[in-house]
Amino acid sequence: LRAKRMRLGIQVYNDRLAHNNTVEVTLRSQLRTALQQNQFELYYQPKVSLHNGKLCGAEAIVRWNHPDEGLLSPAYFIDLVEQSGIVHAFTRYTIESAVKQIKQWEDDETPLPVAVNLSAYNLMDTAFVPFVEKTLATSGIDPARLEFELTESATMVDISVSKRMISAFNSLGIRTSIDDFGTGMSSFAYLRELNVHTIKLDRAFITDVATNAKDEKIVEAMIALCHNLGIQVVAEGIEQQGQATLLKQLGCDVGQGYFFGKPAPHTDIDALLSTAQDVKANLAKIPSAGR
Ligand code: C2E
Ligand code: MG
Ligand code: MG
Ligand code: MG
């Protein structure tokens, strides 16, 4: 069963794991070993251009191949990672893995940008930027193929630190995005402060976008505002064709969600890359209405 689960990329969601302190204490004690034994694995979820229907990137999302519990979603352990001393080593591991994958796709002549999720703690780490610079230099990849996703709440911990770190990433040629945008307590004004390439509209705005006129108006306004500031817009959590079609009509640049593909091992992206990058022909069904 576990093998099947892993093959299908199905996450373990059960109450025993979610609300059990004993399990939490156990998981916490196993984090370091997990890192040493390579039990963390990056899955990749496709990002699709809503302008032309092509695969235009992938988000690296971590999974824990737990020896007893099976494949664990970060929902169960990211908080534990962040509360423990391993958060720095953990993020370095995810960046190194993602950079290796970027290099592999470059070598295969199917280059693809990859986004890695950072933690708020990485922004406080003075050794982080030198680490990234060294990793990029060693790998020889095009830095523009690496993107860092920072949640809105992580950027809000200390705006001046975030501003400085994002500038440093920009100087290295890395792209940056604000993840889960619209869920935190921020105002649009702070977009002036942060020099990011992209914002990712949180799934909360996307769920009812095609059925709720107010949600549609909010999304339309957020897209317009970001575009006026020169910021690209990604919609996350697209599960249905109707959402994709509408978002395309609203001018949203990129879509991500189960409709295009769930997070899965890199081999799923390999398959998409080898089939002319047309994601399951789903976009072919979207009317080519202009912006
Ligand atoms: P996120 O960065 O916003 O990642 C997207 C989450 O939404 C993932 O959940 C993904 O499986 C889920 N998702 C994607 N498309 C859909 C959809 O169409 N419908 C629904 N219902 N869900 C969708 P997951 O894997 O549980 O990850 C949760 C969060 O964990 C991520 O949210 C991210 O903030 C964090 N995370 C994941 N990997 C890493 C990592 O390597 N480092 C750090 N620091 N955080 C990570
Ligand atoms: Mg993300
Ligand atoms: Mg997100
Ligand atoms: Mg999210």
Q: pLDDT tens for residues 109-129?
A: 999 999 999 999 999 999 999
State phi, psi for 37 to the nearest 5 degrees: -95, 15
- Determine whether the shortest distance from the Cβ of 30 to ligand 1 is under 6 A: no
Q: Give the position, in ligand 1's atom list, of the atom nearest the Cα of 81.
A: 44
Over the stretch 129-184, which tens digit does the pLDDT of each residue have? 999 999 999 999 999 999 999 999 999 999 999 999 999 999 999 999 999 998 87
Tokens representing residue 109 in the block: 């002549």
Looking at residue 190, its pLDDT comes to: 83
Q: Per-residue confidence at 200, pLDDT binned at 50, 70, 90? A: very high
How many Å apart are CA 118 and CA 121, to the nearest integer? 8
- Determine whether the shortest distance from the Cβ of 257 to ligand 1 is under 6 A: yes
Global confidence as pTM: 0.91
DSSP assigned state of 275: T
CB 91 within 8 A of CB 32: no
Burial 70-98 (b: 16+ CB within 10 A, else e): bbbbbebbbebbbeeebbbebbbbbbebb
Q: What is the mean pLDDT of residues 187-204?
A: 91
How many Cβ atoms from other residues are within 10 Å of residue 66's Cβ? 19
Q: Taking CA 70 as the corner, what is the angle to CA 204 and CA 39, rounded to the nearest 5 degrees?
A: 95
Instruction: Look at residue 42 and tell me whether its pLDDT is greater than 80.
Output: yes
Q: Per-residue confidence at 8, pLDDT binned at 50, 70, 90? A: very low
The CA 70 to ligand 2 mean position distance, Å, reads 22
Q: Give the position, in ligand 1's atom list, of the atom nearest the Cα of 239.
A: 18
Looking at residue 67, its pLDDT comes to: 94
How many Cβ atoms from other residues are within 10 Å of residue 134's Cβ? 10
Over the stretch 210-231, which tens digit does the pLDDT of each residue have? 999 999 999 999 999 999 999 9
Q: Give the position, in ligand 1's atom list, of the atom nearest the Cα of 82.
A: 44
- Determine whether the shortest distance from the Cβ of 198 to ligand 1 is under 6 A: no
How many Å apart are CA 134 and CA 68, to the nearest integer? 36
